[in-house]
Structure 1
């Protein structure tokens, strides 16, 4: 029986190494095969002090096998994806009660990879003891700050589902770009709405979705709506968007191993990996669009100036400045980590004010010429 088991595991290992392109099958087959060899060696050896390290190693490999097995469903139950009902949520104006004379601009924001759309843009302000100025809630600047700026703009958030640790969808970046276009088609239906310039704001992977949507629209020259979207896009704000890839994707791929039986997928992670051909192709296509569209002069790239920390030790930026900044664009360095670069604590926050300056500039141009292009 042990010989039969070893043979079966050897065949599984050979298949995983030679034919499978799945990292999970490769790692799990090696772990199972190693466990069988170690266990056989222990049982065939006399008990002595020298077998103790072998037994410890065998226990560690056994624990890894269990963690990679379907038992992970019991050890770490997958959480359901917290999605909002509307894929394109109108944050302002919410109703007729929000009195506003005219809307001249649409603002569309897309959050990052696998973020919770309900909290992706919220402040994470940590009050100090006795800090009376600390906010009592967690303000979300898209709906709490921007409406107070008299922008005459409709503000929307694209709540895409890009969860990859569990229940991952079988959607590629191209599909997500199409989803954003479809939601804009559903929302911008009247002639007046279709004449509004659009300001796009994307955090991290959300910026890639925005780029993909514009590239998809540019490719469909026969569609009137797509031509309109391509023409009406008047400004872009990219917050930590990995135009040339991101770090920590290797850690993400390793983490996905422990969610295999919960439906994890690394398809979207691989797009933002360093040296990704798909990401490079997208960027090249988007740059061609920019040359005939708003141009880099109407593109703002925000990069993180604070490294991510592990146990209080600064390790690395998720998206380096060289990757976050498009050549020829306006760049802003924010003294925050990648996970907080899109969060602002108050209207007086200097980082918010830097972003607002550009949004106001584009919105004011739209007011001056409601039916023209925001150039």
Structure 2
């Protein structure tokens, strides 16, 4: 048993036949008093073998089991469902019925971020990728939700990290798991990526790697990529002074150093290779859009042995850095938009948030164009064969 203080947990390995009621029953049968739970989402995972849920408890400090007993009504092939709060790898937050499923939207968090918590409203429980976006990305003809929404998590702790991984090390597992979104023989649906901060650099590195590969799986994956929506991504580096202090002499120092504003060989190489990598994605048009911050962020300081975000304020990622990947775009101003939030809050939207409305309209336009482009490409491919 493990004490947990976070408000949202992930339950993986649920049988495809299980319902919300099944999960609530499993949680209420736990002997640690977790009866008062809310099931926020229950969706078939991208691999199609099981379901994943997100849940919360009335008592935010409830002690819950690392695993749950199998559902007595539906015994899945994965045995006991597992419960965790790290959200590593892919987590499906919403999956429409197969007949309605037209597009995938995948969100990637940033440095030191949490795959789920990074996109949750400040001080609240609303998570727009789960609680709002699925019902707003709808088919114009049927009015039904058409987007499968997933998040991707990876470990990138800054302070007291024991990891020596660099951006390429993080991008490798992400790239390998992307092939699971479109297994061989499955319907190839377009993918729109949402990335925050370091997550955008991880995404770009994965695309560069896919472009360099002649493997059939890599080609299948890259041809599904249509939209890249960047939020505060430091294409040309960021103000990493306080992050370097946090990293100290730890093994992750090189990772933090590589995303700085001064003489980053990694960023220079990525800037050189990324445009060409995009051109290998396939015949249909790709869309890149950049949101950038215009509100200063407090930086990290250590007080009484604890790191807090109470230091001097700074724009962590400048507009120049956040939009650098659009240098060769003739109508650059139509592919950028300011959000008057801090670096971390640029992807945190509450219910009825006006900034969410701005982001939603852009995602709607990109998603609908992606579907049209993908349909047209499939038609021409059929005609040519």
**TM-score normalised to structure 1 length:** 0.66
The equivalent position to 1:271 in structure 2, one of 258, 261, 265, is 258
The structure 2 residue matched to 1:174, chosen from 144, 163, 168, is 168
Paired residue for 2:197, among 197, 204, 224? 204
Q: Is the 8 A contact 2:158 2:252 kept in 1?
A: yes
The alignment's C-alpha RMSD in Å is 2.7
Larger gyration radius, structure 1 or structure 2: 1
TM-score for both structures, normalised by structure 2:
0.64
Name the structure 2 match of 1:358.
Answer: 362
CA distance in 1, matches of 2:175, 2:205: 10
How far residue 309 of structure 1 moved from its aligned partner, in angstroms, is 3.5
Q: Which one scores higher on RCO, CA 8 angstroms, separation ≥ 6? A: 1
Deviation, 1:112, is 0.4
Distance 2:87 2:278 in 1: 33
> Is the 8 Å Cα contact of residues 181 and 213 (structure 1) preserved in structure 2?
yes
Alignment partner, residue 158 of structure 2: 164
* Structure 1 residues not aligned, in runs of 5+: 1-81, 126-136
Structure 1 residues 373 and 229 mapped into 2: Cα distance closer, same or farther (>3 Å)? Answer: farther
Residue of 108, 111, 114 corresponding to 1:110: 108
For 1:88, the equivalent position in structure 2 comes to 90
Residues 285 and 373 in structure 2, CA contact (< 8 A), matched pair in contact too: no
* Per-residue deviation, residues 264-300 of structure 1 (Å, max 9, x unmatched): 5212101101121111111221122234548997111
In 2, distance between residues paired with 1:250 and 1:224?
Answer: 42
Aligned to 2:131: 144
- Maintained 8 Å contact 1:173/1:212: yes
The alignment partner of 1:237 has SS state of strand
**Structure holding more strand per residue:** 2
Q: Which residue number corresponds to residue 276 of structure 2?
A: 288
Distance 1:267 1:207 in 2: 18
The count of corresponding residues between Structure 1 and Structure 2 is 270
* Structure showing the higher helix proportion among its residues: 1
**Quick check: 2:116–2:151 contact (8 Å CA) kept in 1?**
no
Query: How far apart are residue 302 of structure 1 and its match?
Result: 0.7
Counterparts of residues 255-334 of structure 1 (less than 5 Å)? 255-257=246-248, 265-274=252-261, 275-293=263-281, 298-309=287-298, 315-325=313-323, 326=325, 327=327, 328=329, 329=332, 330-334=335-339
Structure-2 change in CA distance of 1:108 and 1:124 (3 Å): same
1:340 aligns with 2:331: no
Q: What is the CA–CA distance in structure 1 between the aligned matches of 2:285 and 2:253, rounded to whole Å?
A: 31
Q: Is 1:234–1:373's contact at 8 Å kept on the other side of the alignment?
A: no
Aligned to 1:67: none
- Deviations for 1:45-104, whole angstroms, at most 9, x for unmatched residues? xxxxxxxxxxxxxxxxxxxxxxxxxxxxxxxxxxxxx863551111112xxxx6563211
Question: Does 1:254 pair with 2:259?
Answer: no
Q: CA deviation at 1:313?
A: 8.7
